[in-house]
């Protein structure tokens, strides 16, 4: 029982530390991991080894990947490329289908750009189109927010899913491919929620003056830095698929190199440098856009590293054996990581922290849960992503970005964002469960 008690105490400290005492998640996870080690009777050398190996191992896998993903998003946002993509999506889908247009635009933009930033970029466009089309501002906001959230938690190179995939040793190409499929299917119910339910919430539209002076790069350049890395990563996963026997192909060494996540995303960063109007110190210096990307990525990388320490501590303590015995014969499977992520999301607010912490806790339990097969590792990453949407409320920064920019009060925010994320999360885990049953 000491393992269970220690884990529950660690989780309680994580939630209280982040929510009540406002301690940075990195230090909360690190201290929780060390405390867990001492409570379960691990030796000093074991604890120090878990700290060093856990942090170093996970950083070697995904530290650069997270930074490159953030860099692409930052340059897209600062250069105006994100707005170019958003405007073209609206034009292609049409203003008459504004709910669908906002949902799909949000869905695409949140792959490279953080959901909060993408919402800020798109809000003025959403407001103007809602006013012009005379449709509910709350409905289009719900559609956009849920589109942003779906890829934010389930589709790399967003940092949360990348970190979870690295911790669980899931194939990144497989996570991207299945993440795109499952997140898009999950939005079907969200679309009807936005149109039929959220649209009933009355939110007045107050127009502000806007400037069109922002530099607008070409659409194809804006899309290249997103699409090329994803294609390269997925292509490598296809070549690595055992049944296809493509590893003997003459092009395999090239595909294996450029399709490795670090190189693919580095290529994306290089392509994104074609977006700024002028490539100067404002872009590449320590105080410029790339410097800002470092500042944005650093906390996420540190939190991910602390999650790796937590996972290593759990692994070294022997809790996996206990979990194996406890879950023997139970069909809890994918619902355990989903529910754990949902609990962490609801209590502390951050989807990224929920993703990383849940993946760290679940990693040593994968065999016990029957999730050690490569495909099930992918499904586990997505199940954790689905759980990390449930639910967005007052302790989530994105909740306040949405309500403050749109003029919603807390009650309206709960009706639109909180209920909407519940719909998204439950739809996603249902689809993930059905897909896992069909494919295995």
- Please, what is the average pLDDT of the chain? 88
Q: Residue 2: is its pLDDT beyond 80? A: yes
Quote the CA–CA distance of 281 and 290 in Å, as a whole number. Answer: 10
Ranking 111-125, 189-203, 290-304, 380-394 by mean pLDDT, the lowest is: 111-125
As a whole number of Å, the end-to-end CA separation of the chain is 34
Biggest CA–CA distance in the chain, Å, is 66
Q: Which residue has the higher pLDDT, 429 or 303?
A: 429
State residue 426's pLDDT score.
97
pLDDT band at 37 (very low <50, low <70, confident <90, very high): very high
pLDDT 10s digits, 271-307: 999 999 888 899 989 989 999 999 989 998 998 888 8
Question: Which residues neighbour 165 within 8 Å (Cβ) at sequence distance 6 or greater?
Answer: 62, 156, 171, 172, 175, 378, 381
State residue 377's pLDDT score.
96
Question: What percent of the chain stands above pLDDT 90?
Answer: 48
pLDDT 10s digits, 360-386: 989 888 888 889 999 999 999 999 999
> Could you tell me the two tokens for 217?
């790069």
State residue 89's pLDDT score.
80
pLDDT, mean of residues 60-88: 87
State residue 326's pLDDT score.
59
pLDDT, mean of residues 389-406: 88
State residue 248's pLDDT score.
85
What string of DSSP letters covers 200-239?
Answer: GS------------S----HHHHHHHHHHHHHHHHHHHHH
State residue 59's pLDDT score.
87
The pTM for the full model equals 0.83
| Residues 59 and 301 sit within 8 Å (Cβ to Cβ) | yes
Q: Residue 235: is its pLDDT beyond 60? A: yes
State residue 211's pLDDT score.
45
- Residue count (the chain): 440
Q: Residue 331: is its pLDDT beyond 80? A: no
At what angle are helices 319-327 and 2-19 packed, to 10 degrees?
110
State residue 11's pLDDT score.
85
C-alpha distances (whole Å) from 17 to each of 25, 94, 192, 362, 363 are 8, 46, 38, 21, 23
Quote the CA–CA distance of 177 and 264 in Å, as a whole number. Answer: 15
Question: Which residues neighbour 220 within 8 Å (Cβ) at sequence distance 6 or greater?
Answer: none
Ranking 190-194, 201-205, 253-257, 310-314 by mean pLDDT, the lowest is: 310-314
Quote the CA–CA distance of 48 and 34 in Å, as a whole number. Answer: 9
Secondary structure of 261-273 as H, E, C letters: HHHHHHHHHHHHC
């Amino acid at each position: 029982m000491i393992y269970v008690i220690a884990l529950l105490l660690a989780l309680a400290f994580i939630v209280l530390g982040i929510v009540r005492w406002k301690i940075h998640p990195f230090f909360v996870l690190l201290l929780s991991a060390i405390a867990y080690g001492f409570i379960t009777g691990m030796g000093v050398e074991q604890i120090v080894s878990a700290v060093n190996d856990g942090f170093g191992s996970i950083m070697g896998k995904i530290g650069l990947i997270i930074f490159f993903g953030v860099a692409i998003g930052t340059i897209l946002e600062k250069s105006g490329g994100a707005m170019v993509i958003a405007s073209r999506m609206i034009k292609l889908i049409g203003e008459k289908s504004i709910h669908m247009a906002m949902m799909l635009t949000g869905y695409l933009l949140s792959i490279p750009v953080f959901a909060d930033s993408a919402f800020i970029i798109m809000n003025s466009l959403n407001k103007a189109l809602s006013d012009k089309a005379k449709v509910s501002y709350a409905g289009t906001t719900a559609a956009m927010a849920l589109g942003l959230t779906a890829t934010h938690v389930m589709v790399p190179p967003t940092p949360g899913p990348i970190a979870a995939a690295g911790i669980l040793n899931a194939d990144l190409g497989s996570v991207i491919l299945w993440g795109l499929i499952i997140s898009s299917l999950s939005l079907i119910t969200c679309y009807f929620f936005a149109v039929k339910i959220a649209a009933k919430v009355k939110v007045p539209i107050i127009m502000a003056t806007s400037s069109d002076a922002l530099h607008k790069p070409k659409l194809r350049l804006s899309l290249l830095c997103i699409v090329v890395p994803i294609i390269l990563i997925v292509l490598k996963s296809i070549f690595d698929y055992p049944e296809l026997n493509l590893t003997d192909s003459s092009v395999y060494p090239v595909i294996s190199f450029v399709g490795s996540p670090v190189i693919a995303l580095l290529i994306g960063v290089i392509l994104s440098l074609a977006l700024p109007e002028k490539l100067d110190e404002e872009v590449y210096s320590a105080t410029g856009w790339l410097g800002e990307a470092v500042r944005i990525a650093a906390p996420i990388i540190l939190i991910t590293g602390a999650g790796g320490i937590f996972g290593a501590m759990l692994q070294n303590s022997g809790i996996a054996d206990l979990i194996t015995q406890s879950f023997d014969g139970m069909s809890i499977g994918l619902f355990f990581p989903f529910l754990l992520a949902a609990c962490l999301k609801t209590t502390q607010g951050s989807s990224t922290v929920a993703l990383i912490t849940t993946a760290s806790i679940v990693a040593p339990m994968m065999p016990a849960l029957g999730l050690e097969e490569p495909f099930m590792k992918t499904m586990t990453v997505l199940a954790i992503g689905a759980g990390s949407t449930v639910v967005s409320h007052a302790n989530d920064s994105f909740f306040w970005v949405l309500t403050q920019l749109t003029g919603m009060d807390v009650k309206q925010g709960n009706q639109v964002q909180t209920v909407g994320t519940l719909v998204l999360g439950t739809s996603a885990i249902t689809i993930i469960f059905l897909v896992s049953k069909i494919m295995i």
